[in-house]
Chain A
Amino acid sequence: MNLIVIGVNHQTAPVEVREQFAIPEARLPEAVKALASQPGIEEAMIVSTCNRVEVVARTKDANANLHECLETLYGFDPYPYRKYLYEYRERDAVRHVFRLASSLDSMVVGEPQILGQVKEAYATARAVGAVTSQLDALYSRAFAVAKRVRTETAIATSAVSIASVAVELAKKIFGNLKGKSVYLVGAGKMCELAARHLMAHGASKIYVGNRTYERAAALAAKFNGEPIVFDQLYDTVDRADIVISSTGAPHAIFLKEHGEKFLSRRKNRPMFFIDIAVPRDVDPQMSKLDGIFVYDIDDLQQVVASHISDRRAEADRAEAIVQLEVDKFQGRMQTLDVVPTIVSLQEHLETVRQAEIDRVRGRLGTLTPEQELAVETLSRGIINKIMHTPITTLKSAARESSESTTVIDLVRKLFNLRDSRKPASEEEDATLSTKSEGRR
């Protein structure tokens, strides 16, 4: 399987860069479909969350380069961003997919949202036919691994969520959260979670502003809060001490001049903006104002990082599980790789045997059933003896990923095997290279 993962995440790229690559939920199906239909790509999937955007693809060519696909996908040249991109292939890619689903690659290790997000991305890709066979197997396995990690280690139970980090910071600013009010801008899951935490620590009033008023009303009802018509956002936000923003807006919705107005209306009482949206909702200039504190998703990560050490032991155990699963999966996938060769070897020798028997049959004259059986057994025996070593070699080579392709190629060459797939893919490779040259 020629698997490639390429992307940006919270560790490799600052939020400014991730904003460039983010794909809004509404555009995702179309984007995955477009990606999967690009030449050279067999299957594809895109995971786009606030912390990462990554493309997972199975290509025809083992040395395929996804940069051009990214360029087509985004309409800009990703080359200037290459230092922010991570790229994994084959075994490393499998490992990455497993780690991601198991929440080991998350900003907050063990947080549960990522699995849901990957599952959604997978469902989207399947729905548009971008994931069909091998990626399907990969992700089914990944979800099983995630489940195993969750049940066998304690990383999920001790997860420090973004929400609890938000609470901790709010306490640094406001001391006691009693009587403080919270304004949710956007009615997403993360918002809800953070609000729940803040309420649990004493925050008393919740406002919910959302573009779709019904969603705002539904979320507000859960907290006994007050839904706000989105048009009144700027007139009402200053009522709250803590603002959690997670809209899908392409540009910042809170600018410095808004902040100045809020402060004067609040008589300079501090305000805390928690911006979990990517692209960001709060202009970074805002935090230049005295009394306004802005934490974006990256800042929260830094705080989270300081909590990570106590979960390291559990995370290590989880990593071990992932490693084991990667080995198993790779083993299976590579055995799958050699199967076609073994089959065509068997078919090839069987054809040779049949042809030889047909050729000499005339000279043998009529044979008794016993003689017939003897010829059959003799010829089969010879073939099986000949096939034995190549097949065992293939099978053992399958377990050593570095050798398998060499051995497959060698066996094919020695026996002059023609793969039913191979000529077709060579043709397509040729068209791919002419096309990409044309593009240059």
Chain B
Amino acid sequence: MPLVWLRVAVAFYAVGLVYSLLLLGKRGNLLAKVVEPAVGFGLIFHFVSLVEYTVLIGHLSWASIHYSESLLAFVAMVVFFIFFVGYRTTSPGIVIFPLVFILTFASAIGQKPVTFTSPALRSSWIFVHVVMIFTGYAGLFLSFGASLLYLMQERALKAKSSDGLLPKLPSLQTIDDIGYHSLLFGFPFMTFGLIAGSVLAIAKYGPFFFTDPKILLSFIMWIVYLLLLYTRWSSGWRGRRAAILATCAFVIALGVWAANSFSRVHRFPPL
């Protein structure tokens, strides 16, 4: 039973995830009315699931990775609600909702691994996973490039030099828009690509896929990605600071790529 409640909670949290994606794209008001009750219900079901689970096994179990994930997500949501009650703002949700969703999702599917009924279904999941992750990468790289161009253009404008690249570059605003929109575009793909990958990995390797370096790096990259969007959304980080964050994300992305060579669960087939 606790698994059922957890899955219900995940469904509610999904509303939060979609809300935060919309909010980043400045269309947050579409879901603004439903997001609070939705994540509220999610929290209730989450709580029920945790209590039931604890009662079932008779004690708090720190050993189970799923339990820890679930508990971490729960604590994050509780903190969110404390802030919400105090400040009447859902904006931290932009970071919290996707994080909570990923954690509870991993916990929910990990406890009873999905099994693919046919190889064809599995390979189509792989296809979806690869296409989405790559699209996410593309968005990130484009944004990284744009933030470098932004820096160059900003420097040129500050140096007041009218020669060099300056006349050929688009305006600062245009570069900025390109950078932000490509981030926005890439993020959902990256998110769902990771989810698809998690499903695949749990089905094949069980719960311990999370400790694989490749997977860990991927999640770190995802979190940096999320931070990039968040700082941009909340305080309009541009230029130097955005470029530093984008560089971090880029370097981690390279690490994720390189991790193929020593990852247990994620290797390209030898040529």
Interface residues of A (CB under 8 A from B): 169, 171-176, 264, 266-270, 287, 290-291, 293, 295, 299, 302-303, 306
Contact = CB atoms under 8 A, between A and B. Distances in A.
A256 to B, nearest CB: 14
8 contacts: A174-B172, A176-B173, A267-B234, A267-B235, A268-B236, A268-B237, A269-B236, A270-B172
Contact of A173 (B162, B173, B235, B241): B173
A171 B160 CA distance: 14
Contacts of B162: 302-303, 306
A291 B176 CA distance: 12
Given A174-B172, A175-B173, A291 B160 contact: no
A270 B239 CA distance: 10
Contacts of A175: 170-174
Contacts of B48: none
10 smallest beta-carbon distances between A and B, as pairs: A268-B236, A267-B236, A175-B171, A175-B173, A290-B239, A175-B174, A299-B160, A173-B172, A174-B173, A306-B162
Contacts of A302: 160, 162
A173 B157 contact: yes
B220 to A, nearest CB: 25
A293 to B, nearest CB: 6
Interface residues of B, number: 20
Given A172-B157, A174-B171, A267-B235, 13 more contacts: A173-B171, A175-B171, A175-B173, A176-B173, A264-B235, A267-B234, A267-B236, A268-B238, A270-B172, A290-B239, A293-B157, A295-B160, A303-B162
A302 B240 CA distance: 26
B154 interface: yes
Contacts of A299: 160
B126 interface: no
A302 B161 CA distance: 8
A266 B236 CA distance: 8
A291 B238 contact: yes
Contacts of B154: 290
Interface string B230-248: 0000111111110000000
A172 B158 CA distance: 12
Contacts of B234: 267
A176 B235 CA distance: 23
Given A268-B235, A268-B237, A287 B172 contact: no
Contacts of A303: 160, 162
A240 to B, nearest CB: 15
Given A290-B240, A293-B158, A172 B171 contact: yes
A145 B106 CA distance: 84
Nearest to B154: A290
Interface string B141-158: 000000000000110011
Nearest to A290: B239
A359 B139 CA distance: 115
Nearest to A180: B173
Nearest to B166: A172
A243 to B, nearest CB: 16
Contacts of A291: 238-239
Contacts of B170: 175
A262 B234 CA distance: 15
Interface string B70-91: 0000000000000000000000
A270 B238 CA distance: 9
Nearest to A287: B158
Interface string B168-204: 0011111000000000000000000000000000000
A62 B154 CA distance: 53
B240 to A, nearest CB: 5
Contacts of A267: 234-236
A385 B192 CA distance: 114
B231 to A, nearest CB: 10
Nearest to A264: B235
Contacts of B153: 172
A174 B175 CA distance: 10
Contacts of A290: 154, 238-241
A169 B172 CA distance: 11
Nearest to B175: A175
Nearest to A267: B236
- Which of A171, A290, A302, A303 has the most chain B CB atoms closer than 10 A to its own CB? A290
Interface string B201-237: 0000000000000000000000000000000001111
A111 B162 CA distance: 21
Interface string B3-31: 00000000000000000000000000000
Contacts of A287: 158
A267 B157 CA distance: 20
A238 to B, nearest CB: 12
Nearest to B173: A175
Contacts of A176: 171, 173
Contacts of B237: 268
Contacts of A264: 235
Interface in B110-150: none
Contacts of A295: 160
Contacts of B160: 295, 299, 302-303
Nearest to A306: B162
A290 B237 CA distance: 10
A176 B176 CA distance: 13
A204 to B, nearest CB: 15
Nearest to A270: B172
Nearest to A172: B171
A174 B234 CA distance: 20
Contacts of A173: 157, 171-173
Contacts of B171: 171-176
Contacts of A171: 171
Nearest to B233: A267
B184 to A, nearest CB: 16
Nearest to A292: B158
A31 B157 CA distance: 39
Contacts of B239: 290-291
A82 B238 CA distance: 44
A203 to B, nearest CB: 14
A280 B162 CA distance: 22
Nearest to A305: B162
